[in-house]
Structure 1
Amino acid sequence: MPSFQSLIDSCRDDWNRYIQHDFVQQLGKGTLAKSCFQHYLKQDYLFLIQFSRAWGLAVYKSHDIFEIRQALAGLKAIVDVELDLHIQYCKQWGISIQELDNLPEAKANIAYTRYMLDAGQQGDLLDLHIALAPCLIGYGMLANWIQEQSWYQAHNNPYLSWIEMYTGDEFHAAMQTEINWINQRLANIDSQRFEQLVKIFTNATRLEADFWQMGLDKSY
C-alpha cells in the first residue's frame, strides 16, 4: 500500500538533496550569511502569495464540504495570519513592507510556484496536495533533521527561531494532518496513478532544492 513515505523512497536522492541542502546545513550551524537569509525571506514572501493562490485552487478542486472547509482554512491561515507574521519577521531582519511589495520575483520562485499551480490545474486535488507536500511536510522534516545532527548549533544561532518554528508542536500537528490526508488517498490508487504522483512529487522536491540554492546564490 503506497504512502507518503513511499513517495520519499521513490526519489530518495532528490529528497536528501532538498532536506540536506547546504542552505539548510548552514542554517543549522548558524553560519549562513545574513544576506542569503534575507534574500530567502524576501522571496518567501512572494512564495506565500502564490501559495495562497494554490489553496484557493484547492477550494475550487474540492468535491465536498469537508474538503472545501479544509482548503479554505489553509487559505485563510496564509492570508490572515502567515503573511502578517512573515512581514513582522522580515522587519526583524531589516526588510520593510515597501521593499517586499516591490520585489522582483526570482526565476526559481516562478518555476516552483507556477509548477505547483499547474499541477493542480491539470490534475485533481490529490495532485495539488502532492505538489505542495515538499513544502507543507518537508520543512518539518528538515528542521527535525537539523536538530538530530551532531553539528547542530542552537547556542547564539541567529536562525534558531526559524528552526524552532518548524519543529514546534503547531507546525508538526499540521504536518501530521497533511500526511494522514495524503496516506488516506494513496491507499486505494493503482501503480500507474502512483507513478504519476511520484513524478509530481519528485519535480516539486527538485524545485524546493532550487529555492534553497537561489537563497545561497542570491539570484534572481
Structure 2
Amino acid sequence: MGTPAWIPAGENDFGAESGLYRRLRDGCAQEWVAYTWHPFVQGLSDGTLPLAAFRTYLIQDYLFLIHFARAKALAVFKAESIEAMREKTASIGAILAETSLHLTYCAEWGIPEPVVRGTPESAETVSYTRYVIDRGLAGDILDLEVALAPCTVGYAEVALRILADPKRRVEGNPYQSWIDSYGSASYQAMARAAAARIDTLGESHGGAARFRSLSGTFAEAARLEARFWQQGLDAA
C-alpha cells in the first residue's frame, strides 16, 4: 500500500501541533496510513473501486451510523459540562437525520431501504461499534472521544488525501459525490472542531499522563476502520 508521496494540503489543520490529537495520530503512523490510504480509499480516488464493494460499504455504514448515534448519546451522559451536553445532543439529531439521507443515497445506488435495514451487521461493524461503546462505558468522556476521533476526523483526512492524489479521477468518477461530502468546508470544519476538542479534553482530563492507554485506543480504532474498508473489498 505504502505512504502517499504527497502531504495533503490542510492535513495538519487538525489539532494543535503539540496537542493530544496530533500526538495520537502521529503515534500510530503505520495504522493511520493503512486506514486513510487503504486500497478501498485509493479505489474511491481513481474511480476503480468495484461497485459491489461500495454497495457493501454503504449498507454497513448505515448500520454503523445507528451505533454512532448511541455512542453520542453516551457522550451526553459522560459530558463534562452543560455546554458539551447540548453540543452532543445536537449531534445525535444530526446523525439520526443523516441516517434518512443515507437511505436515500443507498437508493440512488440501487439498494432499496428494506434491503439496507434487513441486512445483518457484519463482524467488522459489530467489532468496531461495540469497541467504541465499550471504551466509553469503561472510561470517561476523553476515552470515548478518542475512540470516536478516527472516524470523525479520519474521514476528513481521507478526503484531503483523495483531493491531493495526483492520480485522482475527477471527470466521470462514480464516487465524486462521496468525496465532495467529506471534502466539503462544513465537514472539514466539524472535523477540525472534533480534533480541537480532543486537545482540550487532553488538557482537562490528564491526557499526557494517560497517553499510553489513549494511544492504544486510537490505534485500535484506526485498525478497525481499515477492516471496515476491507470488508467491502472482500465482498466484491
**Superposition RMSD on alpha carbons, in Å?**
1.2
Match of 1:158 among 164, 174, 178: 174
Q: Which residue is equivalent to 2:39?
A: 22
Q: What is the distance in 2 between the residues matched to 1:190 and 1:4?
A: 10
Among candidates 102, 123, 126, match of residue 118 of structure 2: 102
- Give the distance between the partners of 1:64 and 1:96, measured in 2 at CA: 41
- 2:121 is paired with a residue whose SS is coil
1:171 aligns with 2:171: no
Q: Which residue of 2 aligns with 1:209?
A: 226
- Which residue of structure 1 aligns with residue 23 of structure 2? 6
- Amino acid in the other structure paired with 1:131: A
Task: Give the distance between the partners of 1:133 and 1:178, measured in 2 at CA.
Answer: 7
Pair 1:130 & 2:146 matched: yes
Cα deviation for residue 192 of structure 1 reads: 3.4
2:64 to 24, 37, 47: 47
Distance in 2 (alpha carbons) for counterparts of 1:186 and 1:167: 27
Q: TM-score, normalised by structure 1?
A: 0.96
CA distances 1:151-178 after superposition (whole Å, capped 9, x unpaired)? 1111100000000100101101111111
Give the Cα separation in 1 of the matches to 2:81 and 2:43.
Answer: 43
- The one-letter code sitting in structure 1 at the alignment partner of 2:80 is H
The partner residue of 1:66 within 83, 89, 94 is 83
For residue 187 of structure 1, the aligned residue among 188, 203, 225 is 203
Structure 2: state its 5+ residue gaps.
Answer: 1-17
**1:64 CA displacement:** 1.9
Question: Is 2:201–2:207's contact at 8 Å kept on the other side of the alignment?
Answer: no
Secondary structure, counterpart of 1:104 in structure 2: coil
Q: Distance in 1 between matches of 2:20 and 2:152?
A: 16
Give the conservation status (yes or no) of the 8 Å contact 2:202–2:208: no
1:91 paired with 2:107, answer yes
Look up the SS of the partner of 1:71 in the other structure. helix
- Counterpart residue identity of residue 120, structure 1: G
Counterparts in 2 of 1:151 and 1:59: CA distance versus 1, 3 Å:
same
1:180 shift after superposition: 1.1
One-letter amino acid matched to 1:7: L
Which segments of structure 1 move beyond 6 Å, counting only runs of 4 or more? none
